[in-house]
């Protein structure tokens, strides 16, 4: 059996969330917009990644940011506080049937219920 991409897996039950993520308004509120982008996208050391992740930890849009990276298969950089290797593990969980909301709740420690505004943190 071939593996599904997370994006394909999520199409069926996550339409409103996908549309909200794709609109991208959450990106305007990211803490990284006020910081050196090299922290998130350069081929950096573990120390630099850790610095980016620590900034992400208090970002008001961490949840949609991580959701975006998982759904749209962002291959590079730190998104939602996780680097590509960490996200790869989560993407594998999505392809085996776990829901995006369950994975986000597990990683970020937030309730599993769908937010009324998917762009909200
Ligand atoms: S969670 Fe991190 S990468 Fe995402 S928007 Fe916030 S600061 Fe930027």
| In a domain? residue 1 | no
Atom 3 of ligand 1, residue of closest alpha carbon:
79
The boundaries of the domain holding residue 99 are 8-120
Asked whether residue 54 is domain-assigned, the answer is yes
> Is residue 43, in this structure, part of any structural domain at all?
yes
CA dist., res. 87 & res. 1, Å (int): 22
Ligand 1: which of 49, 65, 76 to mutate, most ligand atoms within 8 Å of CB? 65
Q: How confident is the model at residue 116 (pLDDT cuts 50, 70, 90)?
A: low
Domain membership flag for residue 94: yes
Contacts of 108 (CB under 8 A, 6+ apart): 62, 63, 66, 80
User: Is there a domain that residue 2 lies in?
Assistant: no
The answer to whether 7 and 22 have CB atoms below 8 angstroms apart is no
CA distance 5 to 23: 21
Count how many domains the chain has. Answer: 1
Residue 33 inside a domain? The answer is yes
Query: Which residues approach ligand 1 with their CB closer than 6 A?
Result: 30-32, 40, 55-56, 59, 61-62, 65, 78-81
Residue pointed to by tokens 């991208």: 24
Q: Cα(99) to centroid of ligand 1, in Å?
A: 22
For residue 51, how far is its CA from the centre of ligand 1 (angstroms)? 12
User: Would the pTM count as exceeding 0.85?
Assistant: no
For residue 73, being part of any structural domain is answered with yes
How far apart are the C-alpha atoms of 20 and 30, rounded to whole Å?
15
Task: Dump pLDDT digits (tens) for 27-84.
Answer: 999 999 999 888 888 767 888 889 999 999 999 999 999 999 998 899 999 999 999 9
105 within 8 A of 70, measured Cβ to Cβ: no
- What token pair was written down for 87? 């996200």
Q: Is residue 84 part of a domain?
A: yes
């Amino acid at each position: 059996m071939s593996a599904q991409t997370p994006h394909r897996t999520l199409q069926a039950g996550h339409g409103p969330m996908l549309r909200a993520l794709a609109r991208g308004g959450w990106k305007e509120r990211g803490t990284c917009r006020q910081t050196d982008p090299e922290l998130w996208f350069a081929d950096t050391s573990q120390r630099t990644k850790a610095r980016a992740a620590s900034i992400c930890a208090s970002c008001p849009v961490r949840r949609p940011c991580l959701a975006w990276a998982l759904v749209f298969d962002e291959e590079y950089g730190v998104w939602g506080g996780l680097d590509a290797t960490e996200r790869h593990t989560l993407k594998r969980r999505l392809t085996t049937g776990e829901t995006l909301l369950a994975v986000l709740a597990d990683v970020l420690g937030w309730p599993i219920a769908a937010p009324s505004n998917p762009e909200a943190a």
